[in-house]
A and B are shown apart, each in its own frame.
Chain A
Amino acid sequence: MFALVDVNNFYVSCERVFDPWLEGRPVVVLSNNDGCVVARSQEAKDLGIATGTPWFQVAPHAAAWGLVARSSNYELYGDLSARVMEVIGRFGAWQEVYSIDESFLGLPEAGEDVLASTAREVRSAVALHVGVPVCVGVAPTKTLAKFANHVAKRNPGLGGVCSLGSLPPGELERIQSRLPATDVWGVGRKSGEKLAALGIGTIAALRAADPLMIRKRFSVVMQRTVLELNGTPCIAPVDERADQQQVMFSRSFSTPVDTAAQMEEVMSVYAQKAAGRLAAKGLRASVVTVSAGTSRFAHGTQSFPSASVPLPVPTDDPIRITRAAVAAMRGRFEPGAAYVRAGVMLSGLGRGGQAEQLDLFSGLAEGEDDADAAAGAPGGGAAGGRAGARPGRAADPTGGVEGLGALLGSVRARFGEAAIGLGQGGLAEPAAWSMKREFSSPKYTTEWSELPRVRA
């Protein structure tokens, strides 16, 4: 069985852990440079504030609405994400960290009451350990687990937990015939329109569609979705992901890794893969998150370490990123455990710092807001967006962003960290204006000088 666990309004929930005053108030978190809204509390959603709304449009109403804005605090989100993932991992036979705030979890086959109680345990464990609310969906396939999670989130009466098998008979059919097919994981807006033209408008209709017809008209991916809706698991682990929110590289090993030195090697290779993807998209990361997991089939120690380290400056430098990944896993390795899976995720993505200065000087400044709006799009639908759409840029020596990270990386590797950089920012810390974070909360968990204050 599959569980999909995700944190409700993750960024806002992180802010509330150390600032309980925010509880019950409308809160939004803003994108890089405080451009636009990327996360909203339920209260902010109720005010009708949409994801992607530019902050300058909301700001004039903030006082009247009692709305609180926070700049993205990637260091905090990365650290709390790693903690959440580690807690979730303790409940599964395997774990697949899918994004900064979602994770699939493998649960052994069991009766409905056992599944439901495990789901509730996951939810209360995360609330206890980290202090953020999660929803848990349990079902026989990943697509259905996503759907169950969706149901849990939309129905407060379920207490944040939904195991599809425990729904009353007919209820599943009723919900699925009411919701649009685009609510299904992996069905985008375009496919949705095409499906609707074929008379397939609801989830129920998609489930009832002929898989072979779907394969012919769409793709094998859509066919899998139909099969998964019918209870046949066929979506393999999502090993790679690169969109405007995060870049991920993870793999299962052919033979288990059981020494710290091997794990260090794995981290080093995966970090470089992820950094390569990052550079190819012209993005910089501010946080590196690593995770690993054992298998339930192994007899030794069970272990699901997860850790997150902030990068001192947003970067796509493969060396810095690799160093951070290796350091993050160091000390987390459980002797005696046989790890079968590991991953590296880069988050806090943006075009801040050095690249921004280059854009400025070469007259290629781009609409930040577009990127940010895409970053806020649910489901990472913007994958393959900007960088890929400009094939000409790689060849342009003044404006080319693609490949630059790799080039800089190799020059730095040979001649030292400060050997090459872009504009002024490359040689020293980037100017303070490089990333506007006017409303940022402290780096509560990653900076000794910014620990949360407790009054005595």
Chain B
Amino acid sequence: MFGVDPAPRRPAPPGSAAEPTGFASPARDYFQGGIDLNRHLISDRTSTFLMRVEGSSMSGAGICDGDELIVDRSLAPRDGSVVVAVVDGELLVRRLRLGGGGPRLEAEPGPGSGPGSRPVSGHQPGPAARRPGDPVPEDFTVWGVATRCLHRL
């Protein structure tokens, strides 16, 4: 099949299969559009949501202020899962612990994000901002399991 390529032809990089004839590359028929991050990072799109992190109480787990989390509601939370939980009507990211004494949520502040770190700006009516590391009430529900953190370098 003859194809007309409207883009200016660039010289082929050395070592690649150059195609000097103007024929469309036969490989093009197999080109699927590159790597689709959705396919690799999201296993079920009906239950997967993105959220933006506010605060630093999980920086020990590599989750920093301003990062985006990929959260899958359909996964079963396990001991040690990083979860988004509903606490007092608010969404909170924490490490879930399912050991003795019942399920609980743990903050994981990194060095330099102890008490006195940047306060959290409340975006909705809710309880007064809790400080990182404060004990979290046992009364919570798991909203979803965080599977990836998108961190800007």
B-contacting residues of A (Cβ < 8 Å)? 18-23, 83, 86-87, 128-131, 331, 444-445, 451-456
Q: Which residue of chain A lies nearest to B47 when distances are taken between CB atoms in the complex?
A: A129
Rounded to whole Å, the gap between the CB of B75 and the closest CB of chain A is 10
On chain A, the residues within 8 Å of B69 by CB distance are: 454
A452 touching B89 by the CB < 8 A rule?
no
Q: Which of A18, A20, A128, A453 contacts B54 (CB 8 A)?
A: A453
A452 touching B51 by the CB < 8 A rule?
yes
B51 touching A451 by the CB < 8 A rule?
yes
Q: Which 10 A-B pairs have the closest CB atoms?
A: A21-B89, A129-B47, A456-B55, A456-B58, A454-B51, A451-B52, A83-B46, A20-B86, A454-B91, A456-B57
Distance between Cα atoms of A454 and B71 in the complex (Å): 11
A130-B46 contact, Cβ under 8 Å, with A20-B91, A454-B84, A456-B65: yes
B46 touching A454 by the CB < 8 A rule?
no
Q: Which residue of chain A lies nearest to B127 when distances are taken between CB atoms in the complex?
A: A21
A454 touching B74 by the CB < 8 A rule?
no
Rounded to whole Å, the gap between the CB of B131 and the closest CB of chain A is 11
**Candidate in A19, A23, A455 with the most chain B CB atoms within 10 angstroms:** A455
On chain A, the residues within 8 Å of B54 by CB distance are: 453-456
On chain A, the residues within 8 Å of B65 by CB distance are: 456
Rounded to whole Å, the gap between the CB of B46 and the closest CB of chain A is 4
A456-B63 contact, Cβ under 8 Å, with A21-B125, A21-B126, A331-B38: yes
Task: Confirm or deny: B152 has a beta carbon within 8 angstroms of a beta carbon on chain A.
Answer: no
Distance between Cα atoms of A452 and B73 in the complex (Å): 14
How many residues of B are in contact with the other chain, CB < 8 A? 39
Distance between Cα atoms of A21 and B84 in the complex (Å): 15
Q: Which residue of chain A lies nearest to B122 when distances are taken between CB atoms in the complex?
A: A455
Distance between Cα atoms of A86 and B45 in the complex (Å): 10
Excluding A445-B49, A455-B91, 10 further A-B contacts by CB distance (< 8 Å) are: A19-B89, A83-B46, A86-B46, A128-B73, A451-B68, A453-B54, A454-B54, A454-B69, A454-B71, A455-B55
On chain A, the residues within 8 Å of B44 by CB distance are: 129
On chain B, the residues within 8 Å of A19 by CB distance are: 89, 124
Task: Confirm or deny: B123 has a beta carbon within 8 angstroms of a beta carbon on chain A.
Answer: yes
Distance between Cα atoms of A454 and B65 in the complex (Å): 10
Distance between Cα atoms of A128 and B141 in the complex (Å): 12
A87 touching B46 by the CB < 8 A rule?
yes
A128 touching B51 by the CB < 8 A rule?
no
Q: Mark B8-52, 1 if CB is under 8 A from A, else 0.
A: 000000000000000000000000000010100000111101111
Q: Which of B45, B52, B59, B89 contacts A454 (CB 8 A)?
A: B52
Q: Which residue of chain B lies nearest to A125 when distances are taken between CB atoms in the complex?
A: B74
B93 touching A456 by the CB < 8 A rule?
yes
Q: Which residue of chain B lies nearest to A449 when distances are taken between CB atoms in the complex?
A: B52
A453-B126 contact, Cβ under 8 Å, with A21-B89, A130-B73, A331-B38: no
A331 touching B36 by the CB < 8 A rule?
yes
Rounded to whole Å, the gap between the CB of A216 and the closest CB of chain B is 48
A454 touching B124 by the CB < 8 A rule?
no
Distance between Cα atoms of A247 and B89 in the complex (Å): 35
Distance between Cα atoms of A23 and B88 in the complex (Å): 10
Q: Which residue of chain B lies nearest to A25 when distances are taken between CB atoms in the complex?
A: B89
Q: Which residue of chain A lies nearest to B132 when distances are taken between CB atoms in the complex?
A: A456
A130-B47 contact, Cβ under 8 Å, with A21-B90, A453-B123, A456-B58: yes
Q: Which residue of chain A lies nearest to B91 when distances are taken between CB atoms in the complex?
A: A454
On chain B, the residues within 8 Å of A331 by CB distance are: 36, 38
On chain A, the residues within 8 Å of B49 by CB distance are: 444-445, 452
**Candidate in A86, A331, A456 with the most chain B CB atoms within 10 angstroms:** A456
Q: Which residue of chain B lies nearest to A88 when distances are taken between CB atoms in the complex?
A: B46
Distance between Cα atoms of A21 and B92 in the complex (Å): 12
**What are 8 A-B contacts defined by CB distance under 8 Å?**
A21-B90, A86-B46, A128-B47, A129-B46, A130-B47, A452-B91, A455-B93, A456-B57
Docked complex: B102-122 residues within 8 A CB-CB of A: 107, 120
Distance between Cα atoms of A444 and B68 in the complex (Å): 13
Distance between Cα atoms of A246 and B44 in the complex (Å): 27
Rounded to whole Å, the gap between the CB of A86 and the closest CB of chain B is 5
Distance between Cα atoms of A452 and B68 in the complex (Å): 10
A455 touching B92 by the CB < 8 A rule?
yes
On chain B, the residues within 8 Å of A86 by CB distance are: 46
Q: Which residue of chain B lies nearest to A19 when distances are taken between CB atoms in the complex?
A: B124
**Candidate in A22, A83, A128, A454 with the most chain B CB atoms within 10 angstroms:** A454
On chain A, the residues within 8 Å of B38 by CB distance are: 331
On chain A, the residues within 8 Å of B86 by CB distance are: 20
Rounded to whole Å, the gap between the CB of A392 and the closest CB of chain B is 47
Q: Which residue of chain A lies nearest to B51 when distances are taken between CB atoms in the complex?
A: A454
Q: Mark B83-101, 1 if CB is under 8 A from A, else 0.
A: 0101001111100000000
Q: Which residue of chain A lies nearest to B76 when distances are taken between CB atoms in the complex?
A: A128
